[in-house]
Amino acid sequence: MRDVAIIGSYTTKFGEMWERSFRDIVVEAGVGALEDAGVGGESIDSMFVGNMSGGQFVEQEHIGALIADYSGLAAGLHVPSTRVEAACASGGLAFRQGIQSVASGYNDIVVAAGVEKMTDVSSVGASSALAAAADREWEGMMGATFPGLYAMIARMHMQQYGTTSEQLAQVAVKNHKNGTNNPIAQYRNNITVDKVLNSIMVADPLHIFDCSPITDGAAALVLAPAEDAHKYTDTPIYIKGSGQASDTIALHDRRDITTLDASVYAAKRAYEMAGIGPDDVDVAEVHDCFTIAEICAIEDLGFVEKGQGGRFVEEGNTVIGGKIPVNTSGGLKACGHPVGATGIKQAAEIVNQLRGEAGKRQVEGAEIGLAHNVGGSGATALVHVLGRER
């Protein structure tokens, strides 16, 4: 196995982009990442694209070829392009597939991208498309929604560990604050705990401000063998560890409803590969599709003991300058959550941090960063550990 480095990174603006199409945004991301890496299309050996549901959102499948075509990599160059899907973890999965293909020696220069265009359908249509990430036949059929599933996790967490609605709200407040300093974020406004608690209830105990929004966006990374990385860039970021795990598709079948075992196992595998532990992580992007998800994530990744996540947030440990800054990009909540793009955007934010290019969001002296991406209510999880040093 070869070591792998990220030599280029680019994320489009996230938001409701009525004037832009699926192919516009993904081509912008791909071209931006190649520009950043300083490589041309003729150098690309392969592409992996994370996309949850082009079929439901823009009535388009065969996404791999479409993107290769509109990036100018199909006619003439005929670059192989593969779409991968794991619901909201599609981006993280594309990243891992790209890493594996370079690590194996099969390919040298690989593009790992992610894209979702969610606003071409109504919000009901988008919610319905997202419900396909859970068990359609035994959850959706009974009236379950995504916020509903996470609300059931939240209520149980509250019952077992005394987690409060205020603590959940603080996750959203912190992520909005980080979002104000991120030029690509969907929401760049501060909110308050009261605003969250007084916003409309979507699925009790989760309010609308506990939920990540519906977003258009794309992101791309260029990967290369670590030994060649300095040919392309002075600031390669190295992949230290990669972990992936599965769990039951339905929430009701999990070992423990308040623990995402897929996150636990993906993290364990990534930490082992990197030869580090949670205490060595300087900055983390975690999957906060709902505020409770961020609390579960910091527990499942080992930053804090199970059940203590709410208190840990309340004590200010996850802010920039805290013990472990979490979601400096604004997270899914404020930066936005174009489902297929999220996993790539998370890695791209860690790249910003480790290169020292995160501006007002910069975590001083960040050497090791972690990206955590979840599919569905926890049926797939990916964890990547990135480092400034090989």
Partner 1 sequence: MSVARFWRQQVQRYNLVGNHCRNCDEYYYPPRTTCPFCRRNGEMEEYKFSGKGELVTYTIIHSAAEGFEHQTPYVLGIVKLEEGPRLTSQIIAQPEDVNIGMKVRPVFRKLGESGDKGMLHYGTKFTPA
Chain residues that interact with partner 1, rule: CB under 8 A: 124, 127-128, 131, 135, 137-145, 147-148, 151-153, 155-156, 159, 200-206, 250-253, 257
The alpha carbon dihedral of 179, 181, 187, 191 has a sign of positive
Q: How far is the CB of 134 from partner 1 (least distance, A)?
A: 9
Nearer to partner 1, 127 or 180 (CB): 127
Q: How far is the CB of 252 from partner 1 (least distance, A)?
A: 4
Nearer to partner 1, 151 or 171 (CB): 151
Nearer to partner 1, 106 or 138 (CB): 138
Q: Is 105 exposed, middle or buried (0-12, 13-18, 19+ CB in 10 A)?
A: exposed
d(CA 233, CA 228) in angstroms, rounded, equals 9
Q: How far is the CB of 247 from partner 1 (least distance, A)?
A: 11
Q: How far is the CB of 342 from partner 1 (least distance, A)?
A: 21
Give me the DSSP letters along 39-90.
--GGG--EEEEE-S-HHHHTS---HHHHHHHHTT-STTT---EEEE-BTBTH
Q: How far is the CB of 239 from partner 1 (least distance, A)?
A: 32
Residue with the two structure tokens 């009236």: 143
Can you say how many angstroms the Cα of residue 181 is from the centroid of all Cα atoms in its chain? 18
For the chain, the straight-line distance linking the first and the last C-alpha, in angstroms and rounded, comes to: 14
Backbone angles phi, psi at 335, to 5 degrees: -75, -30
Q: How far is the CB of 296 from partner 1 (least distance, A)?
A: 14
Which DSSP helix (H) or strand (E) runs through 225? Answer: strand 216-225
Show the tokens assigned to 254.
């999990």
Nearer to partner 1, 148 or 325 (CB): 148
Give the dihedral of Cα atoms 260, 265, 269, 274; nearest 10 deg: 40
Residues designated as active site: 88, 337
Nearer to partner 1, 329 or 377 (CB): 377
Give me the DSSP letters along 151-166.
HHHHHHHHHHH---HH
Residue with the two structure tokens 């174009």: 338
DSSP label of 86: B
Nearer to partner 1, 94 or 250 (CB): 250
Backbone angles phi, psi at 11, to 5 degrees: -130, 135
